[in-house]
Amino acid sequence: EVEQVCDRVAILQAGRKVYEGATRGLGGEGQLYRIETASADDLAKARKLAEPKSILAGPGDDLFVFPADADPAGFLADLVNAGVKVRQFVRLESTLEDLYLEVSQIRRDRNQEPKSA
């Protein structure tokens, strides 16, 4: 319903803005990808390589959100060049609800991670 009456939206969590963008064509504002790798170690490498490029990459999660102007194909090439065995690299179409749930879950997971001293 929000997508029908609003053209832009911001998602807040714990008083911080974690997403802002258009409600129509969410894939254009944030590109959501599922990346399946051959092992947990490869997924960890993918998350580390994604840090400077992706908006979000949940710990232990295979979902990555890239800015609209990012080059996911270039990131895929980076993964392959780093020796990451990629089994699947798929762009997902997402609704506002999907994006909200994904952002919320990733932020919750990050807040529950033990802090290193």
Tens digits of residue pLDDT in 61-102: 787 877 777 888 999 999 999 999 999 999 887 677 777 777
Residues β-bridged to residue 34:
63, 90
What's this model's pTM, rounded to 2 decimal places?
0.57
Q: Other C-beta atoms within 10 Å of 73: how many?
A: 9
CATH 2.170.120 fits 2-112, yes or no: no
What mean pLDDT is reported for the chain?
77
Q: How far apart are CA 26 and CA 43, in angstroms?
A: 25
At residue 28, the pLDDT reads: 46
The contacts of residue 98 (CB under 8 Å, 6+ apart) are 32, 92
| Residue 37 pLDDT exceeds 80 | yes
| Residue 109 pLDDT exceeds 70 | no
| Residue 29 pLDDT exceeds 80 | no
The contacts of residue 6 (CB under 8 Å, 6+ apart) are 23
Q: Other C-beta atoms within 10 Å of 50: how many?
A: 21
